[in-house]
Amino acid sequence: MDAGLSKERAVKSTPSNKITVAEKKAIVAVLLKPEWVDFSPREIYYKLIDDEQRIIASISTFYRVARQENLLGNRQVPSSGKKLNRETPHLIATKANEVWSWDVSQIQSAQRLERYYLYVIIDIWSRFVVGWCPELHEKTDHAIAMWKKSLETQAISGHGLVNHKDNGSIMTADEMIKFVRDAQMVDSYSRAGVSDDNPFSESLFRTIKYFRDFPSSFANIESGRLYFTQYFKDYNFTYKHSGIQFLEPAIRHYGEEVQILHQRNQVIEAFHQGNRHRYSKGPKLFSPIVEVKIN
């Protein structure tokens, strides 16, 4: 074989459809858009078409760039360049409205390329949900509005209240930090990537999503709001919570725990007196839980 011909075959020509450096940068930029970081490259491709009426490259190219830039997994970027918390939180609540934990979780929409976001604040001492809102987007403004309404509903200023959350972008945003400071609340963060540091919010979302009547998706945001209005009413006032000795969160939150447990113990004692033969040990009686801790 001719040496010159062999060399010509060895040199590969640049494919005519190869993306440019600028196009690659554009793909990375949309993959890292704060409001789209939880979506797959395929979803982002279609959101780009539907929301911005433009196409940068094919779906396969989006995935190829995502793999090359290590952007197929979690693409969450902490806001304002703030360092993530690495210290173990040590929180103790001895009464209602001392420590509130909050988080945001994705809720499925019936529309394939859409999802909703459920914001929830829970009082860790009573397990009472003091605030919630389903929204179309994950934004700090929604979180602050929820917090303001919750403080007003509980008739407290926020002074000294611990505001515990993880290191998500809306939690570490400058506006949220300013709101916490202005309300004279105490900022508290989970360690990055440690779900056990926010156990009450994590547990609550599991309870919500595994509830027997929880729908697989919501037709629209209005149907989500209707569902959660009833759900949280039932949760707070009728749900017997195992973490607080099978009391309703509202009973504990509003100071009726001692009375209800005393009444419960009287019933148990009376049954025990008439049925001692059924017990190998004494009956289980209940005392109020005096402390609730995170770590």
Q: How far apart are CA 147 and CA 144, in angstroms?
A: 5
Is 23:56 a contact under the CB 8 Å cutoff? yes
Confidence of residue 208 (pLDDT cuts 50, 70, 90): very high
Q: Is the pLDDT of residue 109 over 80?
A: yes
Question: pLDDT by residue (tens digit) across 266-288?
Answer: 999 999 999 999 888 889 999 99
Helix axes 41-52, 59-68, angle to 10 degrees: 130
Q: Is the pLDDT confidence value at 11 over 80?
A: no
Res 17: pLDDT: 65
Rounded-to-5 percentages of helix, strand, coil across the chain? 45, 15, 40
Distance in angstroms (rounded) separating the CA atoms of residues 149 and 145? 6
pLDDT for the residue numbered 80: 45
Q: How far is Cα 176 from Cα 295, in angstroms, rounded to an integer?
A: 24
Q: What's residue 140's pLDDT?
A: 93
* Listed residue (145, 176, 181) closest to 161, CA to CA: 181
**Backbone phi, psi, residue 153, to 5°:** -65, -40
The answer for 168, left when phi > 0, alpha when psi is -120 to 50, beta otherwise, is: beta
**Averaged over 188-213, what is the pLDDT?**
86
- Which pLDDT belongs to residue 51? 75
